[in-house]
Structure 1
């Protein structure tokens, strides 16, 4: 089933030096841009991460230091990349938990003021796990009847993710609505504030902490009770966007 769109959507996948959002870097990004009229555009680019690629990461995606030695850094392509995906909804596989937070972190490191407030995020893995619970290769075999060759190459994974999503729409006509907003809602496990999911909203739309010793407690109340906690977060290895949210709330309190 073809995906029904009211505005463009991008399906994307990252290959990275590792899985630590604050420490690791992108080494390859592939984006499939789908327009409401069905037109598709694809861009894949290797990125010089500015750090050695660990052997464990190379074993997964096959990209070596030599492969990216003459490639641009993310900062060099960040502006044009951000403009190309501007106004697009965002689709990926495990993207809400990893790829989107990693991409946002890279944009912020490059000095790009990220505003995804009007975007809808569809995580094909979440749909799959809620309804079948398997991996991308298994999902591709299950829904599309194909073997995923060249897995963990960004372009192959991107194309497979898009095909799986379309097949999911055919496979679950009663559970899934062919609408980005509905798919984004189905893809979510909760209403998070930041892309890394360190902060969330409670039932009263108050921001709560979603990790550590203050998990489940309202951020404003914690900062009023333990103002040193703000300094600890700012000095620790948290994503830049998460720190920015702490700063917004903290500054709103001291301004009163």
Structure 2
């Protein structure tokens, strides 16, 4: 059965600086406009986001700052994009939750009038998830060809989960998988460490995903205004962010991991302050810090004094006056002094 269209259906996808709809920006948009007669038009725009692209995002879509430095910003392209899809319904993958809201944010910021009220939206991911359920019951039926007896009892669900994993290892033993960077591997194997890596691809620090690890193993904030920034860097510029999170409605384990990072950051700061307080020893050639020859660590040595010999202050010596010329009075005084009695 073919797709019956009354008007064009615009399939589109966005590459962005991140996943925060309010704060992040589009760096690329590609649209395939499928017409009712079966023909299609394709247009792709690279967009300067006006903000740096985080490395973590560039590693996913391959677009770096240097690739868009000469491109137009969305406010210059928005009307052209709107004109291309103005009469179309919209379709995408996870588009209802991400692509359409992100596109509308950009239109609103650019002052472009784009009406959603009369359009239809087709989210292909929703069809996939609803037709191929992702419940334990569906997985048990798919992998083990069994129905769970006493479903939703703890023991029955636990045993079903164990059997599903064993069946997955057998089913996917030689199945290749490709990651977002194009790397191919066979990740579903009978090794717990390998399964751990495959089932934690987002590399969360705290399970809730409020913090994640980057490629270097450093903790990053994964939400809000500091999304994509190193946690320690956030503490450097906004130390109160720690208190805000600790007092906020975050999971206890998230707070526990945040506290570990904060203590490590504080220890580094204390070590740095201590190092700055220690003054390097005087290596010679510089003036002493005081005119007093005695210091707290003992008398100073002078190049003219042997090592180990103590130096004392020199006694005050009165300045000698020039000799007076000999006169008759002086000769008379000398004669009287030596005159025999």
Please give the range of the TM-score, normalised by the shorter of the 2 chains.
0.5 to 0.7
Whether the aligned pair in 2 keeps the contact of 1:15 and 1:152 (CA below 8 Å) is no
Structure 2 partner of 1:238: none
**2:4, 2:117 → 1: CA distance?**
21
Query: Which structure's CA Rg is the greater one?
Result: 2
Structure 2 partner of 1:15: 15
TM-score, normalisation: structure 1: 0.52
Shift of 1:71: 0.8
Shift in alpha-carbon separation, 1:116–1:2, aligned structure 2, 3 A: same
**Correspondence list, 1:144-223, <5 A:** none
1:69 aligns with 2:69: yes
**1:44, 1:13 → 2: CA distance?**
10
Total equivalences in the alignment = 141
**1:120, 1:6 → 2: CA distance?**
11
Shift in alpha-carbon separation, 1:151–1:45, aligned structure 2, 3 A: farther
Structure 2 partner of 1:127: 127
**2:36, 2:97 → 1: CA distance?**
26
TM-score, normalisation: structure 2: 0.39
CA-to-partner distance for each residue in 1:80-129, whole Å, 9 max, x for gaps?
11011011000000000000000000000000122111100000000001
1:84 aligns with 2:84: yes
SS in 1 for 2:126: helix
Structure 2 partner of 1:185: none
Gaps of 5+ in 2: 135-175, 183-341
1:35 aligns with 2:29: no
**2:181, 2:108 → 1: CA distance?**
25
Shift in alpha-carbon separation, 1:148–1:98, aligned structure 2, 3 A: farther
Give the structure with the larger helix fraction: 1
Structure number with the bigger relative contact order (C-alpha 8 A, sep ≥ 6) is 1
**1:110, 1:70 → 2: CA distance?**
19
**1:23, 1:103 → 2: CA distance?**
12
CA root-mean-square deviation: 2.2
Shift of 1:151: 5.6
Shift in alpha-carbon separation, 1:29–1:152, aligned structure 2, 3 A: farther
Whether the aligned pair in 2 keeps the contact of 1:13 and 1:29 (CA below 8 Å) is yes
**Correspondence list, 1:217-256, <5 A:** none
